[in-house]
Amino acid sequence: MQQVADYITEEKKQELETELADLRGPRRKEILEALQYAKSLGDLSENAEYHQAREDQGKLEVRIQKIEQILQSAQVIQSKGGNIIQVGSKVVVQKAGMTEEKIYVIVGSEEASMAEGKISNRSPFGAAMFGKKKGDRISFETPRGTVNYKIIKVS
């Protein structure tokens, strides 16, 4: 089972929509005001405030475009449970030779966060788990060599 689309959860979609509204509204207005103030200072060639405001404006517009692209192209997924691992699945795994179990949630690349136990479906680990089920063994390459896991539970 191969995954090709980008995925986001409903929560991430709402978070991005809120950020986009802020960037298009208040944040864009702040930068325009900073630009106008900087222009009022005169000579633009050596005006640090003006150059900083232009740089901030560029970064803002790039972020707006990125969010718009994500919202337009990503598929919103619902955590459905089930026994086949897919985006939205909660997976309990055990590393070969260890007794400790770890819990991960498979998410789209925009939401990945190892600190929160959210593994991207496009990472080597996430890709190795994708389409597998409880009891399956998986392995994938890391800079330190091959790592092996057993899938204990899928929900």
Q: pLDDT tens for residues 76-113? A: 877 666 788 888 889 999 999 888 999 999 988 888 88
> What residue segments make up the domains of the chain, in order of their start?
7-76, 79-154
Give yes or no for residue 4 having a pLDDT over 60.
Answer: no
Which parts of the chain are beta strand (E)? 7-9, 75-77, 90-95, 101-107, 118-120, 137-142, 145-154
CB distance 106 to 86 below 8 Å? yes
Q: Thinking of the domain 7-76, which architecture would CATH place it in?
A: Orthogonal Bundle (1.10)
pLDDT of residue 81: 65
The sign of the CA dihedral 123, 124, 128, 134 is negative
pLDDT band at 7 (very low <50, low <70, confident <90, very high): confident
Which CATH fold would you assign to the domain 79-154?
Chitinase A; domain 3 (3.10.50)
> What residues contact residue 64 under an 8 Å CB cut-off, 6+ apart?
20, 23, 24
Q: What is the pLDDT of residue 151?
A: 94
Beta strands in 75-123 (DSSP E): 75-77, 90-95, 101-107, 118-120
pLDDT digits (tens, 9 = 90+) for 28-82: 999 999 999 988 888 878 888 889 999 999 999 999 999 999 899 888 877 666 7
Identify whether the C-beta of residue 155 lies closer than 8 Å to the C-beta of residue 89. yes
Output the pLDDT for position 80. Answer: 63
**Cβ 46 vs Cβ 58: under 8 Å:** no
Q: Of 77, 64, 52, which Cα lies nearest the Cα of 20?
A: 64
| Position 27 pLDDT exceeds 90 | yes
- Distance CA(34)–CA(47), nearest Å, equals 12
Q: Is the pLDDT assigned to residue 17 strictly greater than 50?
A: yes
